[in-house]
Amino acid sequence: MIIVFPTMKEDGLSAKRGAHFGRANFYTVVNVEENIVKKITIHKNPGHVTGACADAVTNIQSLGADALIVSGIGGEPLKKFLAVGIDVYFDDKNEVLEDSLRAFLAGNVAKIDPNHTCSHH
């Protein structure tokens, strides 16, 4: 499974997660097999134009993402991620990627409820 975390710096597992997935400086990509981290890669966010974040969805899809873990997302980008087969999970409790990953692997991070999306999108 390939999990994408929006992050602010190139700090690997100790990176602070970005609050807004499309505006994060980097996407930290974690490849997990049988709950074991196999590979971590970091990609600079190429940016996106506002308006349903279509570019951001394409950017994250190009990384091979199966899942995206965010602390917030708009309704339109959520629909677009779901349409391309990327599951979106909501974690607003863990600021550091490693903590969020642990919570996710333990089954403590749920898929985002569309009622909890940001209204500014």
Contact call for residues 46 and 23 (beta carbons, < 8 A): no
In a domain, 24, yes or no: yes
Is the model's pLDDT at 52 over the cut of 50? no
User: How confident is the model over 49-69, as a mean pLDDT?
Assistant: 80
- Structural domain count, the chain: 1
In a domain, 120, yes or no: no
Query: Tell me: the pLDDT tens digits for 21-38?
Result: 777 899 999 999 999 999
In a domain, 121, yes or no: no
Per-residue pLDDT at 83: 94
d(C-alpha 47, C-alpha 55), whole Å: 8
pTM of the model: 0.89
In a domain, 68, yes or no: yes
* Mean pLDDT for all residues in the chain: 88
Using the structure block, give the residue that is written with the tokens 């990327």. 86
In a domain, 11, yes or no: yes
Question: CATH no. for residue 80?
Answer: 3.30.420.130
Per-residue pLDDT at 44: 93
Is the model's pLDDT at 113 over the cut of 90? no
Coil, strand or helix: which one is 28?
strand
Using the structure block, give the residue that is written with the tokens 């709950």. 35
Domain enclosing residue 9, as ranges: 2-115
In a domain, 98, yes or no: yes
Q: Residue 16 carries which DSSP code? A: B
